[in-house]
Structure 1
């Protein structure tokens, strides 16, 4: 049974710029013909769009500014199928990101999060939002910190994507304490992913941990079975843009779990979605249809 999902967190205007290669050549003017585009972005927004594309109902809680850029962001969000009734225009200026993308799909993001450290989403509105689903994805921006804990106290399964974590630190501790499911990148991890998973199980009530290894695949740990297993990544063709690859994986993995897949099946689902998404420019573009994912995974060797 497909389940609705609450997604809570950041929403930006992403301006993507295609360049030849890194490091960027310094000069007065660089030309990028048909290489500059605007889309919505931010980890939570990327996950929300991905889940919507995969056929799930999404309730998206976020915040924008009171400027003209916010009008564009809301229009782009609606064009992606997102409901905007829980996106609050509480900031003076909408946050934005510039993404430089080279010919191999590598990217560098320059993010201006605006009022992110001073904001608090109104707590009185949270119960109605949480009532929409048993699943709550929460990004790890500072203003989302208490939202993750409130979702856990409301009895929801909280999913946090801590991405480039080095070790258990004070900034992320609140999110880890609230989480039922943790997704992280091993890019900067200070220890082997297996060791880190076991440390999370010792210190927190986390049920499932997924450690992604970029184009090398991902490792899944399930607390109830004490099983940790690795799966290689899918190689589905040329890489155009790696922006949002981790968010695409999150969307696919969550979509799998919310469709009653076992964690191991959801891992494959998420990896396939991410591999398809990076063949298209833009963090919120390139998500495959759910039926396509089912068909592709059904054809894999048993």
Structure 2
């Protein structure tokens, strides 16, 4: 078990299943079990996944000042996130609507409200930094001081950059420079993926870079192991909804990477974790147990537990 301090966005998400993206105009579309609304957000989803895998998680976020924090932990969920460090100070909670179709195409509409103008009270953060093993950050404005705090206390940082935009790279340097692990999605990538990873690694000296490629799998780079490899997706479940799969993959990778230091085994476990996740509706549903991960990795790759893992160290 590792201790993670996770900071990032919490939002209300509405997910809509449609026949095809982009959506064609019709006055009314009526379809049963096609609209799902719940709490989401990259950092929220990652916190849930880490907690599900047995880690100690401190989740720090900001929401609307009138937001009922009871929605963070619906009664039918098996794990609970503490709301102690979720601060209701924004005018409203950020919201997002996602259209998705059977071909895994997505069209996202987001409204971050006054997120950019808000800051987090770092007096709550500083006492907790020393006790965590890693800080997992979103690249939101209010998370910038978290990166500084981690650097000051020599704590490793993992950052989910999500969609890469070359025009905004300069605004992300506060996260890119200190990060030990970076996660990107290739949804908006316009350059060769291997050239992109090489450029990121040489520019920022990052130890581990994961580039998610949707149905094509991913590319992982590990500076220490001198690895730059592509892995295809695996199948453990029928695809229902791929939204949130990247968050699940990133969180699972961090869980096993911090536990064993083995990036290859960690990414294989993460691929399994994400493949199971996409069989469920909602970004915060459908997480594998560690026992299920072990069973599937032995089935697909024949990877047995190491003595380190076997004794729970």
* TM-score, normalised by the number of residues in structure 2: 0.88
Contact 1:107 1:242 in 2 (8 A): no
In 2, the alpha carbon distance for the partners of 1:77 and 1:106 equals: 31
1:201-240 matches, within 5 Å, as 201-240=201-240
Corresponding residue of 1:52: 51
1:93-132 matches, within 5 Å, as 93-132=92-131
Decide whether aligned partners of structure 1 residues 299 and 78 sit closer, same or farther in structure 2, where only a CA change above 3 A counts.
closer
Higher deviation after alignment, 69-78 or 243-252: 69-78
1:3-82 matches, within 5 Å, as 3-67=2-66, 69-76=67-74, 79=77, 80-82=79-81
Look up the SS of the partner of 1:14 in the other structure. Answer: strand
Look up the SS of the partner of 1:211 in the other structure. Answer: strand
CA-based RMSD of the aligned residues comes to 2.1
Aligned length in residues: 300
Look up the SS of the partner of 1:155 in the other structure. Answer: coil
CA positional deviation for 1:163: 2.2
Unaligned runs of 5+ in 1: none
1:144-159 matches, within 5 Å, as 144-159=143-158
Contact 2:164 2:189 in 1 (8 A): yes
* Per-residue deviation, residues 30-77 of structure 1 (Å, max 9, x unmatched): 22323333211111111111111222121100011122x434533449
Unaligned runs of 5+ in 2: 303-313
Corresponding residue of 2:247: 247
Decide whether aligned partners of structure 1 residues 174 and 78 sit closer, same or farther in structure 2, where only a CA change above 3 A counts.
farther
Look up the SS of the partner of 1:117 in the other structure. Answer: helix
CA positional deviation for 1:87: 0.5
* TM-score, normalised by the number of residues in structure 1: 0.91
In 1, the alpha carbon distance for the partners of 2:171 and 2:261 equals: 32
In the alignment, is residue 182 of structure 1 matched against residue 182 of structure 2?
A: yes
Bigger RCO of structures 1 and 2 (CA < 8 A, at least 6 apart): 1
